[in-house]
């Protein structure tokens, strides 16, 4: 769970895109329900954005320094799988941010 502690200092934005009703977005919706309040309680000025759109392909997007973005599809993944992906995106931040600078 260290990613929740590090998220505000490592990435600029975390965006989750999902469908409100489709089964392929269930894991993304569960991830948001499980983690959104914890992240925002600890990082009230962090951009944790949730975009819901009918039949949208569920994706996780991290925005790093200098506008660098990384998007990963998370269709049919569980909440735990998505949490692992988010943790990996945060762990890559130091390398990505230093490469751009």
Asked if residue 1 has pLDDT above 60, the reply is: no
* Contact present, 1 and 34 (Cβ < 8 Å): no
All structural domains of the chain: 2-100 (3.40.30.10)
pTM: 0.92
Rounded Cα distance, 61 and 21, in Å: 20
Position 17 confidence tier, pLDDT thresholds 50, 70, 90: very high
Q: Alpha helix (H) ranges present in the chain? A: 2-10, 26-42, 79-91, 93-100
| 71-94 per-position pLDDT tens digit | 999 999 999 999 999 999 999 999
Cα 15 to chain centroid, rounded? 5
- What per-residue confidence (pLDDT) applies to 70? 97
Distance CA(70)–CA(14), nearest Å, equals 10
How many CB atoms neighbour CB 11 within 10 A?
26
In order of 15, 38, 67, the CA distances from 27 in angstroms are: 14, 17, 27
């Amino acid at each position: 769970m260290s990613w929740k502690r590090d998220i505000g200092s490592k990435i600029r934005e975390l965006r989750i895109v999902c469908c409100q009703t489709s089964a392929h977005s269930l894991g993304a919706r569960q991830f948001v329900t499980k983690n959104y309040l914890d992240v925002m309680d600890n990082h009230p000025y962090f951009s944790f954005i949730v975009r819901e759109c009918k039949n949208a392909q569920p994706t996780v997007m991290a925005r790093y320094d200098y506008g660098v973005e990384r998007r990963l599809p998370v269709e049919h993944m569980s909440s735990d799988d998505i949490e692992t992906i988010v943790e990996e995106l945060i762990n890559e931040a130091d390398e990505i941010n230093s490469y751009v600078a």
